[in-house]
Homo-oligomer: A and B are copies of this chain.
Amino acid sequence: MINQHYLSMLEHKSVIRELAEYAGRRGKEIGYENVFDFSLGNPSVPAPESFKNAAVNLLETMEPLALHGYTPSAGSPYVKEKVAASLKRRFGIAYKPEHIFPTSGCAAALAHALRAVTEPGEDVLVFAPFFPEYVPYICDTGANIRIVPPDLPDFQINFEALEEMLAPETGAVLINTPNNPSGAVYTEETLQRLGDVLREYSKRFGHTIFLISDEPYREICFDGKKCPYPAAYYDNTLTCYSFSKSLSIPGERIGYVAVNPACEQSDKMDLIFAQISRGIGHNCPASLIQLAIARTLDDTADLSVYETNMNLLYDTFRDLGFSVPRPGGTFYIMPKAPEVSAEAFCRKALKYDLVFVPCEGFHAPGYFRVAYCIDTEKVERSLPVIRKFVREEYGTPGSRS
């Protein structure tokens, strides 16, 4: 019979998607250039020329049978080797090919990592605020999601709450740095302390608590800094990566899991992942795309626009008196709404054709997300509209509560 669980999921509409659809409809009325659509996290800069060149060159020069043939279920050995070498060079961890498992983007990376290091019934801890899709990602494996409350106001880790929630049932801890939706980047100090806590509690409970690190925004880091690499602070780390944002190719669905060589069962983990693929129908990302990214591993799209946009919006929201943590990376900023309900705030913003996303679904009630992966020119045009909206609806900063 039709599966009632999946059928019932259709009734739960995504707020982000509804807002994006609204923006699309409104755009048809007044011209999309006049809708300040900050709803969706889609890269706005083109893929680098090198990616196109790599793909065209592969198509033009490689034997079709080799180019389009089955790759082994644990991934193309050539791609695994290239990714391992790049990570080793960049982060100083001695990855070998068997530690790399190419996946169809971060969603598939997480689908494999979560299944590999948890048993059904175990807990996976996540930190508010977090990407709402973590709920189906985790719950579909049979594990339980448990939410560690946020660390205010900087959205690092609330260690007191974490230590209270770690339990013998804890199978894994899932982090996301740089963070969607807050833009926060975990500091070295945060990651060091997280590693210490996980080591301590793994020992106390007599089993490994794995760290799953979701890093699609790793390369979008501001102020000339590099994002600290979580796997460097804790051996039992599975790093989930996607090239969606760094190369601006989200539709190509390409990423990987990298297993720290010092992780438990690290030498077998790609084979365990391949077993998982059999049940969930994964069977590797497209071979052409695997081979193309192997040639462009250290390239990125021109990501500087995101920092430019962040600064414009951060300054504007601060000038307007908002409480707003300064993003260290991503293409999101998450100010606190000037009233209790961020949903009410976002509804009012729509009257000004400003499309923001309330963060209830991200487990950051009272905050809203502004996705600034749009042209800087449009961000600039939005600023006076944002000022007008806030002054008309909430008064000048001094006069607000």
A residues with CB within 8 A of B: 1-4, 6-7, 9-10, 42-47, 51-52, 55-56, 59-60, 63-65, 67-71, 103-105, 107-112, 115-119, 122, 133, 136-137, 139-141, 171, 207-208, 248-254, 264-265, 268, 271-272, 275-276, 278-289
Chain B residues whose C-beta falls within 8 Å of the C-beta of A55 in the assembled complex: 55, 59, 288
Looking at the assembled complex, report how far the CB atom of A273 sits from the nearest CB atom of chain B, in whole angstroms: 8
Contact between chains at A116 and B2 (CB < 8 Å): yes
Interchain CB contact under 8 A, A250 and B6: no
CB <8 Å contact, A253 and B284: yes
**Contact, CB under 8 Å: B56 / A251:** no
22 pairs of residues in contact across A and B, judged by CB atoms under 8 Å:
A2-B117, A2-B265, A3-B118, A6-B116, A6-B275, A7-B272, A10-B275, A42-B69, A42-B70, A45-B65, A65-B248, A69-B251, A70-B250, A70-B251, A71-B251, A111-B280, A133-B278, A137-B281, A140-B278, A251-B286, A251-B287, A285-B286
In the complex, the answer to whether B279 meets A140 with C-beta atoms within 8 Å is yes
Smallest Cβ-Cβ distance to A252: which chain B residue = B286
A65, A110, A116, A248 — which one has the most chain B CB atoms within 10 A of its CB? Answer: A65
Q: How many copies of this chain?
A: 2
Partner of A119, one of B3, B67, B278: B3
**Complex CA distance for A163 and B184, rounded to whole angstroms:** 60
Of the listed residues A3, A7, A59, A60, the one surrounded by the most CB atoms of chain B closer than 10 A to its CB is A3
Contact A252 B287 (CB under 8 A): yes
Contact with A56, one of B59, B119, B141, B279 (Cβ below 8 angstroms):
B59
- Residue pair B1, A122 in contact (C-beta under 8 Å): yes
Asked whether A108 lies within 8 Å of B254 as measured between CB atoms, the reply is no
Interface centre among A4, A45, A110, A286 (most CB of B within 10 A): A286
Q: Is the CB of A252 within 8 A of B68?
A: yes
Point out the residues of chain B lying under 8 angstroms from A140, CB to CB.
Answer: 278-280
Q: From A76, which residue of chain B is reached at the shortest CB distance?
A: B251
A118 touches B59 (CB 8 A): no
Residues of B within 8 A of A10 (CB): 268, 271-272, 275
Given A7-B272, A10-B272, A52-B60; 9 other pairs, CB 8 A cutoff: A7-B268, A68-B250, A71-B251, A110-B281, A112-B281, A136-B278, A139-B279, A251-B288, A285-B286
| Cβ-defined contact, B64 with A46, below 8 A | yes
> Are A108 and B286 in contact (CB-based, < 8 A)?
no
Verify B1–A117 contact, CB threshold 8 A: yes
- Whole-angstrom distance between the Cβ of A35 and the nearest chain B Cβ: 18
Query: Within the complex, what minimum Cβ distance (angstroms) separates A339 from chain B?
Result: 32
A300 to B70, CA, bound (A): 18
User: Is the CB–CB distance between B7 and A265 below 8 Å?
Assistant: yes
What residues of B have a CB within 8 angstroms of the CB of A7 in the complex? 265, 268, 272
Task: Give CA–CA (A51, B65) in the complex, Å.
Answer: 13
Which of A70, A119, A250, A279 counts the most B-chain CB atoms under 10 A from its CB? A279
A376 to B116, CA, bound (A): 43
Q: Who on chain B is nearest to A205 by CB?
A: B1
| Chain B residues within an 8 Å CB radius of A63 | 46
Nearest-neighbour CB distance to chain B for A15, whole angstroms, equals 15
Task: Find out whether the CB atom of A282 lies under 8 angstroms from the CB atom of B108.
Answer: yes
